[in-house]
Structure 1
Amino acid sequence: MTQLERQDAERFAALTLANLTRRWPWKPGHVAYGPEDLMPPDALHPAFYGSYDWHSCVHGWWQVLHLLRRVPDLEQAGAIASLADRTLTADAIAGEIAMFDRAGAATFERPYGWAWLLALHGEARCHSERRWAATLAPLADLLAKRMAAYLTRLSHPLRQGAHGNSAFAMLLAHHWAKRGNEALAQTIETRAADWFGADRDCQAWEPDGDAFLSPALIEAALMARLLPVSQFTDWFDGFLPRSGDREPRTLFVPVTPPDRDDAKMVHLDGLNLSRAWCWRLIGDTLPPGHATIHVAREAAASHLSQSLPHLADSYMGSHWLATFALLALGGEA
């Protein structure tokens, strides 16, 4: 499996830094109740106004802070730290909280953006010499409470290949919650056991034509994070019992977007990258000698190579794909 190279880190950072302060084009995701809700992006979102939409800006920030930590002498290190000092301020985060407190904002960015904000806060906590984590903490606390309430109320998991996917949000949120919010961690563990614990012989009827997540593999990645190795191995052998033979075949075959200028179709590049991430997590979790390890690592490499050269082909991909490339190359959110 390819590891993160310095040239990739600098390419990812350059792509994302250019977008974090890019206001247009902008895709707002909130409900407008009056003209006061139709302000420019940086007026509604003082911190996370760039990168086309709110969640892409948030996980773009996660990406550059993660790169800053992993490659401290990164060419863009000074620019990242300086921009973070100017942007991730107490006033800006108070403005973001005010947006979430608006009428009609109860479902804004639920659950995908919420989970990425928790991942960003978790990454910021790793930069102890900076104040970024402290300023992000009130928003993280708010969205953690909303996440717990949402998962408690939700009757069935969302098994889709896009932003609503429950397992993806739970995966990111649990990683954050294990460092200080045991109640949310327990909620996620209980929900995962209830929703996914008995899943067997997954047929993997995927991908959707505009998916960027594999419902099957993101569920398996979640369970790999939550379960002890022996329990995960038993669960995985029941969930994908023919994986060692590369079945279901759909999970092992990379896809090609028919139009990378199409905001939805380019999601398929994200699918390749997120599948590479999931296969890496699965292969790294299974015990030595398991029949799936080799094919998991092969699948991770083939999916990564299919889309890694295309991160900057179109703005519809360049504003977000580098985050998933970083996950595929060993980033942990």
Structure 2
Amino acid sequence: MTQRLDQATAARFAGLTLGHLTREWPYKLDQVLDGPGDLALPKTLHPVFHGSFDWHSCVHGWWQVMRLARLYPDMAEAAAVEALADRMLVPALIAGEVAYLDRPGTGGFERPYGWGWLLALHDELARRPDRPWAAAVEPLARAFAARFAAYLPKLIYPVRSGKHDCTAFALVHALRWARTHDASLAALIEARARDWYGDDHDCRPFEPSGEDFLSATLCETVLMKDVLGAEFAPWLAAFLPDPFGPATACLRSPAIVSERTDGRLAHLDGVNLSRAWCWRTIADALPDPAAARAIADVHLAEALPHLADDYMGEHWLATFALLALEAE
């Protein structure tokens, strides 16, 4: 049976994520040190996004809880989410996040995964124009949009990876933000996506790698669906000419997770959730939409029981579960 988001599930996800958005330890920094003066506590370096084990997980954790609070304003957790936003998503603290980007050696900071998620967060906040959060975060969003605009023309080849450097995954979020907030960036993303992926055909994936949390193949299809619109179905037919045949069998079998206390091996729970998101998103353009949704359901069933098995998954998996459960 196809699983969908409901208020009880939303409350569970929000409760999990509220438990770590401001949890300071353990924390993994993404930092280049130019000297001893650069050493500082995560909370000093990142006044807002110093929880959830690392910067990008904290950012998309915020995206998740803000989205859930908007979709389910009557759940008990919504009030706690909004109170925390009133305390944390404020100009003075966001200014500290912007200031971090002005440090030497930060050009590659969170590129492109964290960039895309920050734009997704701002896009979600902008859906609540009655509250001050989007205006507070906008300077940081504009800073990352400028980084995308400078970086994408230099990127000769897309990064076809199942990890944080995956070009297609980041651009899904960046394009959805840009179409509302930055038309020139949207045009650039669309043009680069066509350059990189437009002629792809007869894909023969070999996935997953041992520490992936994304499917590079399927993330590409989600991006191209957004880019191509009515042109997507023929592109997909060329890219995956036999989506339910032996050449793509590896995309249909859930990944096996051997150890959930190992943060990198636990990534494979994310493969299952992100594949579910992708299969649901592209289902209607495939020869058998019901089969695609059934594949998504199998992947969801494999991952959903394990969202909170260990902090190595708990600090991020609920976001990907939300992506999958909302996908159409």
Same structural fold, with TM-score higher than 0.5 when normalized by the shorter chain? yes
Partner residue in 1 for 2:51: 50
Q: Does 1:200 align with 2:206?
A: no
Q: Does 1:327 align with 2:323?
A: yes
Residue 181 of structure 2 aligns to a residue whose secondary structure is coil
Residue 157 of structure 2 aligns to a residue whose secondary structure is coil
User: Aligned-pair distance for 1:246?
Assistant: 6.4
Take 2:39 and 2:266, find their aligned partners in 1: how far apart are those partners? 28
Residues 1-333 of structure 1 mapped to structure 2, 5 A cutoff: 1-229=2-230, 231-245=231-245, 247-284=247-284, 286=285, 290-330=286-326
Counterpart residue type for residue 8 of structure 2: Q
Take 2:177 and 2:150, find their aligned partners in 1: how far apart are those partners? 16
When structure 1 is superposed on structure 2, of 238-247 and 207-216 the one drifting more is: 238-247
* Unaligned residue ranges in structure 2 (runs of 5+): none
User: Aligned-pair distance for 1:247?
Assistant: 4.3
Take 1:204 and 1:193, find their aligned partners in 2: how far apart are those partners? 20
Residue correspondences, number: 327
Take 1:5 and 1:36, find their aligned partners in 2: how far apart are those partners? 48
Taking structure 1 as the reference length, what is the TM-score of the superposition? 0.96
Take 1:331 and 1:23, find their aligned partners in 2: how far apart are those partners? 31
Take 1:196 and 1:106, find their aligned partners in 2: how far apart are those partners? 25
Task: Give the conservation status (yes or no) of the 8 Å contact 1:210–1:264.
Answer: yes
User: Aligned-pair distance for 1:292?
Assistant: 3.1
Take 2:274 and 2:309, find their aligned partners in 1: how far apart are those partners? 18
User: Aligned-pair distance for 1:145?
Assistant: 0.6
What does the per-residue CA deviation read over 1:11-45, in whole Å, with 9 as the maximum and x for residues that have no partner?
A: 11011101100000010001112233221111110
Taking structure 2 as the reference length, what is the TM-score of the superposition? 0.97
Task: Give the conservation status (yes or no) of the 8 Å contact 2:280–2:327.
Answer: no
Take 2:327 and 2:143, find their aligned partners in 1: how far apart are those partners? 25
Moved runs in structure 1, 4+ residues, more than 2 A? Answer: 244-247
Task: Give the conservation status (yes or no) of the 8 Å contact 2:281–2:327.
Answer: no
Counterpart residue type for residue 294 of structure 1: A
Take 1:331 and 1:69, find their aligned partners in 2: how far apart are those partners? 17
